[in-house]
A and B are shown apart, each in its own frame.
Chain A
């Protein structure tokens, strides 16, 4: 039972354009969402997060949008750069179990020249 879903296993975007990575969740108890980035042979690294009291959080080229009614979040990367090529994981946590993260299966982003 996958509570956090990333339905696109891969995405290819041209350098300079916008990358949009999507994530859906089924558990309405989730109240905090994170994006992690993973390069080959390395562990995931934290990228950006958003609390359920917000619908947008921005950090430089990265913006996360949350649509609670649709149980959907997205990560926008503008402009995309070749160094952004990695696997991106969406994760969520529930109120009261703040330490426990449920991850999606990941989306592999390739930024082409």
Chain B
């Protein structure tokens, strides 16, 4: 099993540009999570999906952030327009059980 796949691994962009992060969950997992990691706040849950349906997006910081899961094997997190304070590592995780989540390697986003 390839595990959770995220792309790109690194993204450097300029303020105001649109950024799209991608995630492929583990096959058979029915829950998908997007997290953001920063030094100050640690790992924050942004949004999670169950059976492709968004269940809780209360962690999405602003309207500039949006997430979609068009099918069971793909999800995107989009930031438009991006700002320097969005610089962080973004993780995607998936789960087939109540609690244990399997994380991808993360995307390190730098907004200049």
26 A-B contacts, Cβ less than 8 Å apart?
A32-B98, A32-B99, A34-B100, A36-B103, A42-B105, A43-B4, A43-B91, A43-B103, A43-B106, A46-B100, A49-B99, A93-B99, A99-B31, A99-B48, A100-B48, A101-B101, A102-B45, A103-B35, A103-B42, A103-B43, A103-B45, A104-B42, A105-B40, A105-B42, A106-B42, A106-B43
Complex-state Cα separation, A93 to B45, whole angstroms = 12
Interface size class of A (residues with CB under 8 A): 20 to 34
- Give chain B nearest CB distance to A97 CB in angstroms: 8
A85-112, CB under 8 A of B: which get 1 and which 0?
Answer: 0000101010001111111111000000
Establish whether residues B45 and A43, one from each chain, have CB atoms under 8 Å apart when the complex forms: no
Known: A42-B105, A43-B104, A44-B91. A98 touches B98 (CB 8 A): yes
Q: How far is the CB of B22 from chain A (nearest CB, A)?
A: 15
Number of residue pairs A-B, CB distance < 8 angstroms? 61
Which residues from chain B contact A104 at a C-beta distance below 8 Å?
42
Q: Which residues of A contact B33 (CB under 8 A)?
A: 99, 101
How far is it, in angstroms, between the C-alpha of A34 and the C-alpha of B99 when the chains are bound? 8
Asked whether B41 is an interface residue with its Cβ less than 8 Å from the other chain, the reply is yes
A91 to B101, CA, bound (A): 11
Q: Which residues of A contact B35 (CB under 8 A)?
A: 103
Task: Please tell me if B66 contacts chain A, counting CB pairs below 8 Å.
Answer: no
Q: Give bound CA distance, A53 to B98, whole Å.
A: 16
Chain A nearest Cβ from B109, distance in angstroms:
14
Residues in A with CB closer than 8 Å to B75 are none
Judge whether A89 and B100 touch: CB under 8 Å: no
For window 37-96 of chain A, which residues contact chain B by CB distance below 8 Å? Answer: 41-46, 49, 89, 91, 93
Q: Are B42 and A46 in contact (CB under 8 A)?
A: no
Check A100 against B45 for contact (C-beta < 8 Å): yes
In the bound complex, CA of A32 to CA of B50 (Å): 19
Which residues does chain B contribute within 8 Å of A6, judged by CB atoms?
Answer: 42
The answer to whether B101 touches A46 (Cβ under 8 A) is yes
